[in-house]
A and B are shown apart, each in its own frame.
Chain A
Amino acid sequence: MAPRILDFGARLRTGRAFSSGDALILCLLAALLYAGLRLAIRAPAEVRGPQLSLSLWALPWYALLSTARMAAAYVLSLAFSLAYGGAAARSRSAERLLLPVLDVLQSVPILSFLPIVLLGLSALLPEAIAAEAASIVLIFTSQAWNLTYSYYQSSTLVPQELREAAAVARLPASLRFRTLELPFAAIGLVWNSIMSWAGGWFFLMAAESFTVGVRDYRLPGLGSYLQAAAGAGDQRALVAGALTLVLLVVALDQLVWRPLLAFCVRFKLDVVAGEDLPTSWFLVVLRRSAVVRLCGQHLVRPLLAALDARAARRAAERPVDSPERDPTARASPVLRVVVVLLLGGVVYGGLRAVVFLLDLPVGDWFEIGVALLATGGRVLCSLVLALLWTVPLGVAIGLSPRLARIVQPVVSVAASFPATALFPAVLLALAHVPGGLDLGAVGLMSLGTQWYLLFNVVAGTNAIPQDLLQTTRLLQLSRVQRWRTLLLPALFPYLVTGCITAAGGAWNASIVAERVHVGGEVLSTTGIGALIAGASDVSDDRLLLAATLSLVAVVLLFNRLFWRRLYRLAETRYRME
């Protein structure tokens, strides 16, 4: 198992701790959220969503609807990633703006996007469609960011000489994308797609049933089914819904992701001898199928050939730009005016948001501070918990190909299964234990994020050179010495990368972990997630804005001041050469 791990470090490696860009982006975010909230207040009277059926016969239909929503959101995420990641990789000035924006976006919890998304869409679309579109956009916000990072990173890592070969062969942009950029990014994109879908399922319940102001939206789907079942305390429906979800995850794994992974083997730059490559029975079926072959011969190939011919005709007329990134290039005057105007708007909006926030009672700020501390504690606990079991297991998997073969299929399904689906059921059991919700919240947070750690530990163990492992064995070090002199230092960079992702995910998971509707009542504990979810439920827009901004600021601060330093250390001291 060698997943291409998302390297958030690439982002951390460059730039200063805090730049003026960060301030601007916080401003932008505040302005956007503020605008959405203001609109929300003027929303008309109460609208109830359709009543959900808890009948088992509704499940296949709901599952289909949810999958369609996820797929739509995923297509949107992919398109966004290719455009955004590609733009950031192509131009240095775009990079300077786009990467910090991405940094902020991925630390905004899903519910905080809700008001602006829903109301923006309601203004354009009829009510029912707007709710559907909002749900898709919400799922998008839990899928897009890591894909974008992955594509950006692959694009910057394309070897210079391959780019130059494309330029001297005069490949038109469309052909270059198909033969160079997409194949190069493919493996990373598939691994991150799997993670994105897992993330999407994780927040599905939040994305399919939500309240804004006095409006209560409940879209027919698996997420809202689980939510409703939990709300009604219907154990049978809960179990059935969770089982459906497991089936769905396994089916997608077998029919979509495994075949894609096996297909992408051809895009590996170098294959290490003895490495286990992913295989897929379904891909074999597809490859042998006459229908697929005929489609390829008579549909896909002629289409691509026509596209290529058109691109070639167009490209023949223009000179090919050199692939060198020009650091001295300046934006056109029109673009500059637009940027200046936009900046003005953003600063104005940010100021209004600040004024708006000034009215927030001091007590609420205090409450936010306490909540941040509480959630921070939970994030820390969940990280420690996850580290305690992922490090030994990951090392064991990494060192033993036999164990890897047994554990890998289990892990890949388990990693995709959203713990949120079972969470209400677990809470029903824990409800009467003192501190049960706190316990459950920590558990849910680590369940959602520990996989990043496990994957990183396995990848890190695989990266330890064999001769170092053998030397260590020859030296006959004790177990403790072996961990201290070889394993922990060698894993350090991977642990840091994994922890950054896991911690970010844990902060976000607090939204669904700290406040839950179970059996007709609301269970809630102290924490920033509970605060945001609660504020969203009762439409306390001031509190929602203040809590969201505080959360984003804290996450960014941690990333820049704590994780970045660790990352530097990992890069300079504990790098394998």
Chain B
Amino acid sequence: MPDPDRPAALLAVRNVAKCYRTNASTYTALANVDLEIREGEFVCLLGPSGCGKSTLLRIVTGLQRQTSGEVRYRDQELVGVNPHATIVFQSFALYPWLTVLENVALPLRARGIAGGLRQARALELIDLVGLHGFESAYPRELSGGMRQKVGFARALASEPELLCLDEPFSALDVLSAEALRGELLELWIGRKIPTKAILMVTHNIEEAVLLGSRIVIMGKDPGHVIASLELSLRQPRVRTDTAFQSVVDKVYALVAGSGMAEAEAKAAARVPMARPLPSGRPNAVAGLTERLAQEGGRMDLSRLGKELGLSLDELLPVVESAAMLGFAKVEQDDLLLAPLGRTFAEASIPARKEIVAARVLRNPTMGWIHETLQEDDNGRVAAEYFLDRLRPTIGDAAQGQLDEAIRWGRYAELFSYDDDTREVYQERG
């Protein structure tokens, strides 16, 4: 039943899944995803890398096809590339051998619009994004920010109802990104473009809170929607407002919290091989505990990320690793240093290695590799031996898990790896 008070739904994604099949196994990128976008919405898809947010964007635009489920646009089943949507890419995806004008005019050319009209329309768009005077330049002559402006102008040339943005600001320097965000908002809120709705993929929480009218938070393994959060903050939004900061903290807690809950659930599960190893780098974990110790053992997650200069993608694995090693734990939107973490932060390098060795051996995979090597006469076992036994339970993730195991094994001086003979080995004597 159409509801007169609510704007019309443009896009409806129902129960969508996406699987990639390789020779031996299947990788599920998305499972049970539901998403609806209405006219007037600016939706931000937020989540750690590997949560399938870019894949979802490509399914919505018809660049990829879902394995199961349904994608409807204006209540029509989507077939092929979505004619009402377009994408602005992270890498700009400009044709390097075409000028700015030719790049922007390309969608018009594809629609068979004649030369004179095409030229005029393209120049109008170049003007709109503020690139007047650069029509005859080649992309390589432009800065990153200007290239992305060309990307926006080209996207607008096909007059999309649904404008999809795939991390459009993450390849830019901080200042250009901020300027471009402002200009996008101005076009969007000032209704200077015929676009009906925007869907943006990002892993930058502040960016999402700054721009979006709604934030959809996704989790990984497999990619799924965790939460959808309406933002009622009025534009223009100011980063230093307390209201703004409290929303940012809330989103941080949602993203990090869900990750922690899953990691702990997996850790508790008594399926030995299925319990993953921490994927953060040992040195990064050490840096994190030191910073926490300086702060008196408790720190706000969003502040931690900002001060360490880490994006969400970089911060989360480190936090998860620290949690798995028992060095820290997440409480709401704060990270808390555990007593063992404090000892670790204050310990000398050899002592740190001993602490990590004791902790990682509790991981069944690490323990099993260590034991196998202990029992071997020479203390050398082919990597293939471990892979063969990991594959039946974790499939294609086996190589990655073994790599992690070797990294932690090397750090803790438990075992090492010889790339020439492809053997995992233990120093003897």
Task: Give the B-binding residues of A (Cβ under 8 A).
Answer: 159, 161-162, 164-165, 167-172, 175, 179-180, 183, 266-271, 305, 308-309, 311-313, 315-316, 319-324, 326-328, 573
7 closest A-B pairs by beta carbon, nearest first, are A312-B112, A319-B80, A161-B93, A320-B81, A165-B93, A169-B107, A168-B86
Known contacts A270-B140, A312-B111, A164 near B80 by CB under 8 Å:
no
State A183–B98 Cα separation when bound (angstroms): 10
Name the contact of B79 in the complex, choosing from A266, A270, A271, A319 (C-beta under 8 A): A319
B406 CB, min distance to chain A CBs, angstroms: 16
Residue of chain B at shortest CB distance from A312: B112
Q: Which residues of B contact A308 (CB under 8 A)?
A: 109, 112
Name the contact of B154 in the complex, choosing from A164, A169, A313 (C-beta under 8 A): A169
Contact (Cβ within 8 A) B97 A322: no
Contact (Cβ within 8 A) B111 A316: yes
Contact (Cβ within 8 A) B95 A183: yes
Contact (Cβ within 8 A) B110 A169: yes
Contact (Cβ within 8 A) B93 A164: yes
State A328–B26 Cα separation when bound (angstroms): 12
Q: 0/1 per residue, B73-99, Cβ < 8 Å to A?
A: 000000111010111011101111110
State A315–B114 Cα separation when bound (angstroms): 16
What are 20 sample pairs from A and B whose C-beta atoms fall under 8 A apart?
A: A161-B93, A164-B89, A165-B89, A168-B87, A170-B81, A170-B158, A172-B110, A179-B95, A180-B95, A267-B97, A270-B140, A312-B109, A312-B111, A315-B110, A320-B62, A323-B63, A324-B63, A324-B65, A328-B21, A573-B419
Q: Which residues of B contact A313 (CB under 8 A)?
A: 112
Residue of chain A at shortest CB distance from B86: A168
B383 CB, min distance to chain A CBs, angstroms: 13
B87, B106, B110: residue with the most chain A Cβ atoms closer than 10 Å: B110
Contact (Cβ within 8 A) B110 A171: yes
Given contacts A172-B110, A271-B140, A312-B112, 5 further A-B contacts (CB under 8 A): A168-B61, A170-B107, A320-B81, A320-B83, A321-B80
Contact (Cβ within 8 A) B140 A183: no
Indicate if B25 sits at the interface (CB-CB under 8 A).
no
Contact (Cβ within 8 A) B63 A183: no
Q: Which residues of A contact B140 (CB under 8 A)?
A: 270-271
B78 CB, min distance to chain A CBs, angstroms: 9
Indicate if B353 sits at the interface (CB-CB under 8 A).
no
A168 CB, min distance to chain B CBs, angstroms: 5
Name the contact of A161 in the complex, choosing from B79, B86, B91, B107 (C-beta under 8 A): B91
B55 CB, min distance to chain A CBs, angstroms: 11
State A327–B67 Cα separation when bound (angstroms): 12
Known contacts A170-B158, A271-B140, A327 near B87 by CB under 8 Å:
no
Residue of chain B at shortest CB distance from A172: B110
Indicate if B58 sits at the interface (CB-CB under 8 A).
yes
A159, A170, A315, A328: residue with the most chain B Cβ atoms closer than 10 Å: A170
State A324–B81 Cα separation when bound (angstroms): 11
Number of cross-chain contacts by CB at 8 Å: 100
Known contacts A161-B93, A269-B96, A322-B80, A312 near B110 by CB under 8 Å:
yes
Known contacts A169-B154, A322-B80, A323-B63, A164 near B109 by CB under 8 Å:
no
Known contacts A312-B111, A316-B111, A322 near B91 by CB under 8 Å:
no
A200 CB, min distance to chain B CBs, angstroms: 29
Known contacts A169-B106, A169-B107, A308-B112, A322 near B63 by CB under 8 Å:
yes
Name the contact of B91 in the complex, choosing from A159, A172, A326 (C-beta under 8 A): A159
State A478–B83 Cα separation when bound (angstroms): 64
Known contacts A164-B89, A172-B110, A316-B111, A322 near B95 by CB under 8 Å:
no
State A168–B86 Cα separation when bound (angstroms): 5
A275 CB, min distance to chain B CBs, angstroms: 13
Name the contact of A168 in the complex, choosing from B79, B91, B138, B158 (C-beta under 8 A): B158
Contact (Cβ within 8 A) B112 A183: no
State A311–B113 Cα separation when bound (angstroms): 12
Contact (Cβ within 8 A) A168 B95: no
State A308–B107 Cα separation when bound (angstroms): 12
Q: 0/1 per residue, B108-122, Cβ < 8 Å to A?
A: 011110110000000
Indicate if B378 sits at the interface (CB-CB under 8 A).
no
Q: Which residues of B contact A183 (CB under 8 A)?
A: 95, 97
Contact (Cβ within 8 A) B110 A175: yes
Indicate if B68 sits at the interface (CB-CB under 8 A).
no
Indicate if B64 sits at the interface (CB-CB under 8 A).
yes
State A162–B114 Cα separation when bound (angstroms): 24
Name the contact of A170 in the complex, choosing from B64, B83, B87, B155 (C-beta under 8 A): B83
Residue of chain A at shortest CB distance from B92: A161
Q: Which residues of B contact A159 (CB under 8 A)?
A: 91, 93
Contact (Cβ within 8 A) A309 B93: no
Residue of chain B at shortest CB distance from A318: B80
Known contacts A322-B81, A324-B65, A179 near B158 by CB under 8 Å:
no
Q: Which residues of B contact A164 (CB under 8 A)?
A: 58, 63, 87, 89, 93
A545 CB, min distance to chain B CBs, angstroms: 37
Residue of chain A at shortest CB distance from B420: A573
A277 CB, min distance to chain B CBs, angstroms: 13
Q: Which residues of B contact A180 (CB under 8 A)?
A: 95
State A315–B107 Cα separation when bound (angstroms): 13
Within 8 A of A (CB), among B48-71: 58, 61-65
State A167–B164 Cα separation when bound (angstroms): 14
Known contacts A321-B80, A322-B62, A168 near B106 by CB under 8 Å:
no
Residue of chain A at shortest CB distance from B80: A319
Q: Which residues of A contact B81 (CB under 8 A)?
A: 167-168, 170, 319-322
A159, A267, A311, A320: residue with the most chain B Cβ atoms closer than 10 Å: A320
State A171–B93 Cα separation when bound (angstroms): 14
State A271–B89 Cα separation when bound (angstroms): 22
Name the contact of B95 in the complex, choosing from A162, A309, A328 (C-beta under 8 A): A162
Q: Which residues of A contact B97 (CB under 8 A)?
A: 183, 266-267
State A172–B95 Cα separation when bound (angstroms): 16
A554 CB, min distance to chain B CBs, angstroms: 30
State A214–B102 Cα separation when bound (angstroms): 61
Q: Which residues of A contact B98 (CB under 8 A)?
A: 179
A414 CB, min distance to chain B CBs, angstroms: 31
Q: Which residues of A contact B158 (CB under 8 A)?
A: 168-170
Q: Which residues of B contact A270 (CB under 8 A)?
A: 140
Q: Which residues of B contact A161 (CB under 8 A)?
A: 89-91, 93
State A326–B18 Cα separation when bound (angstroms): 13
Q: Which residues of A contact B91 (CB under 8 A)?
A: 159, 161
Q: Which residues of B contact A305 (CB under 8 A)?
A: 114-115
Q: Which residues of A contact B95 (CB under 8 A)?
A: 162, 165, 179-180, 183
Residue of chain A at shortest CB distance from B158: A169
State A167–B89 Cα separation when bound (angstroms): 13
Q: Which residues of A contact B106 (CB under 8 A)?
A: 169, 171, 179
A330 CB, min distance to chain B CBs, angstroms: 14
State A305–B83 Cα separation when bound (angstroms): 23
B13 CB, min distance to chain A CBs, angstroms: 16
Contact (Cβ within 8 A) B93 A162: yes
Q: Which residues of B contact A319 (CB under 8 A)?
A: 79-81, 83
Q: Which residues of A contact B64 (CB under 8 A)?
A: 322, 324
